């Protein structure tokens, strides 16, 4: 029966394309009626469609949401980086294009977790998973992800597909929308509680990209092999959104690379992949060298993320910011003395700041990550990333060495 419905749908579509365009008033009027008729005829099996060369079954009411070719560059990246048995998290799974593609790629031993907080959309997504026989490898979580757990107001499309968004209606979405309070979690909390270690995280949350990344900091920095792909919506960011994204990328030790044709991955709509920052210091020879495994065994996950992956701690988070005793600040990686307390000053930035290091204690490189040019500072003995130096400090040097406190240990005089 469903296959017959599919053939009827194909014939009807061919005829409709001949007599009216996709955006014609007649087609917009008749399309919902036709969709309901198809849904009634196909019952729970849906209709067959092809997306990026893969055959799937879907609820016919949402056939217009599933184009025959959809973001092929992203699919190519997924095929390159995923293997059978991997785990994928899709944040903002919508009706399931990427959930279903991912489930096919990771195979029966793999796992796909789709976060979709819009109740109507999540229900349709579950039907799509069932129609395609993927229940054993797909979990749908009716939860939104953000920077902290709790509840939030979700503004969703009234038809149950597309541009759902937290804390305000999507100005780029449909005019009609519904409002509902939904549970909110963080990626860190979820992965920690469920014991999940994703190989790929997809994020499409209509302007809340920074929120999701902030809530996944521990998970992302602890897994440098993890691929993170974001659909960027910079026009939907609140005031200060660009600066916030810079800070988030610094904290994660990641930089953006476009996989769509956008001119500037950070400020233009499109798909981007977050790659670990590759420092030139890692290729140099230092007196103290260790393997990645040895560094991980010695350092805490947070210390490793900063010293070895160029992450940035949260401003105001380190106790050394308030340290005012006489003494010496040393590299937590190798113990080399870096700064004396008499050269520390209050910069108001939230990070320990110094106007001059001990002679020969630090090295610098040009840091071109996040589409900026900065001067990176590292320990000259082990190459561990410390922070950056800026030309807005006090006399006598006029420099501000802005240092991650977690990269330091203090030895009182």
Cis amide leading into 314 (omega within 30): no
d(CA 170, CA 178) in angstroms, rounded, equals 11
d(CA 270, CA 71) in angstroms, rounded, equals 10
Burial class (CB in 10 A: 0-12, 13-18, 19+), 337: middle
Burial class (CB in 10 A: 0-12, 13-18, 19+), 204: buried
d(CA 305, CA 218) in angstroms, rounded, equals 9
d(CA 269, CA 236) in angstroms, rounded, equals 10
Q: Residues 6 or more apart from 322 whose CB is under 8 A from it?
A: none
* DSSP H or E stretch at residue 160: none
Catalytic entry in 87, 318, 334, 402: 402
Burial class (CB in 10 A: 0-12, 13-18, 19+), 80: exposed
d(CA 307, CA 381) in angstroms, rounded, equals 12
Determine contact, residues 148/214, Cβ cutoff 8 Å: no
Three-class SS state of 300:
coil
Buried b vs exposed e over 38-73: b needs ≥16 C-beta within 10 Å? Answer: bbebbeeebbbbebbeeebbbbbbbbebbeeeebee
* Tokens at 230, concatenated: 């974001």
d(CA 168, CA 155) in angstroms, rounded, equals 6
Buried b vs exposed e over 305-334: b needs ≥16 C-beta within 10 Å? Answer: bbbbbbbbbeeeebebbebeeebbbbbbbb
In angstroms, what is the C-alpha Rg of the chain? 25
* Tokens at 54, concatenated: 């893969």
Determine the straight-line distance between the first and last CA of the chain, rounded to whole angstroms. 84
Q: Based on the residue annotation, tell me whether 402 is a catalytic residue of this protein.
A: yes
Which residues are part of the catalytic machinery? 402
């Amino acid at each position: 029966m469903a296959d017959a419905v599919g053939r009827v749908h194909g014939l009807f579509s061919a005829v409709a394309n001949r007599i009216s365009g996709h955006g014609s008033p007649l087609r917009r009027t008749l399309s919902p009626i036709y969709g309901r008729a198809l849904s009634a005829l196909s019952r729970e099996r849906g209709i067959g469609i092809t997306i990026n060369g893969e055959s799937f079954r879907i609820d016919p009411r949402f056939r217009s949401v599933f184009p025959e070719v959809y973001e092929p560059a992203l699919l190519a990246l997924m095929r390159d980086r995923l293997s059978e048995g991997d785990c994928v998290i899709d944040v903002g799974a919508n009706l399931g294009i990427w959930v279903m593609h991912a489930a096919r790629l990771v195979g029966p031993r793999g796992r796909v977790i789709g976060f979709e907080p819009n109740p109507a959309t999540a229900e349709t997504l579950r039907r799509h998973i069932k129609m395609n026989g993927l229940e054993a490898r797909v979990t749908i979580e009716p939860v939104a992800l953000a920077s902290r757990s709790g509840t939030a107001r979700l503004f969703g499309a009234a038809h149950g597909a597309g541009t759902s968004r937290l804390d305000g209606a999507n100005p780029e979405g449909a005019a009609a929308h519904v409002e509902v309070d939904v549970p909110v979690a963080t990626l860190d909390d979820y992965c920690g509680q469920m014991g999940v270690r994703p190989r790929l995280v997809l994020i499409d949350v209509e302007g809340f990209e920074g929120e999701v990344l902030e809530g996944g900091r521990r998970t992302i920095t602890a897994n440098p092999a993890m691929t993170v792909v974001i659909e960027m919506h910079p026009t939907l960011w609140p005031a200060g959104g660009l600066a916030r994204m810079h800070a988030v990328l610094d904290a994660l030790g990641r930089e953006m690379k476009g996989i769509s044709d956008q001119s500037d991955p950070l400020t233009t709509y499109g798909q981007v992949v977050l790659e670990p920052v590759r420092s030139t210091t890692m290729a140099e020879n230092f007196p103290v060298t260790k393997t990645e495994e040895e560094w991980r065994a010695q350092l805490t996950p947070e210390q490793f993320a900063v010293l070895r992956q160029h992450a940035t701690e949260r401003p105001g988070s380190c106790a050394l910011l308030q340290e005012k005793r006489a003494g010496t600040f040393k590299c937590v990686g190798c113990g080399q003395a870096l700064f004396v307390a008499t050269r520390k000053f209050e910069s108001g930035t939230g990070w320990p700041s110094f106007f001059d290091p001990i002679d020969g204690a630090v090295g610098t490189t040009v840091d071109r990550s996040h589409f900026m040019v900065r001067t990176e500072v590292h320990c000259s003995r082990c190459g561990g990333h410390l922070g950056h130096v800026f030309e807005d400090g006090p006399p006598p040097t006029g420099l501000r060495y802005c240092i991650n406190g977690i990269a330091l240990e203090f030895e009182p005089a």
